[in-house]
Structure 1
Amino acid sequence: PPMILPMLARGGRDQALAFLRNAPRETARAFDVMAETLAEYARRCLAAGADGLFYATNVATTALMTAEECRRWQRPWDLRILDAVANAPFNLLHVCGAGIHFDEFADYPVTALSFALAPGNPTLAEAHARTGRAIVGGLPAKPEIAGMSEAALLARAAAARREMQDRWHLLGPDCSIDPDTPEPLLHAVGAAVRHAEL
Structure 2
Amino acid sequence: ARLQHSRVWIVDPVDGTREYGEERADWAVHVGLAIDGVPTIGAVALPGHEDGIVLRTDQPRVVPPAPEKLRMVVSRTRPAPQAVAVAEALGAELVPMGSAGAKAMAVILGQADIYLHAGGQYEWDSCAPAAVALAHGLHASRIDGSPLIYNQEDTYMPDLLICRHEHADMVLGALAEIAAQAA
Give the alignment's TM-score, normalised by structure 1.
0.29
Considering only CA atoms, is the larger Rg found in Structure 1 or Structure 2? Answer: 1
More helix by share: 1
Give the alignment's TM-score, normalised by structure 2.
0.31
Query: Which structure carries more relative contact order (alpha carbon 8 Å, separation 6+)?
Result: 2
More strand by share: 2
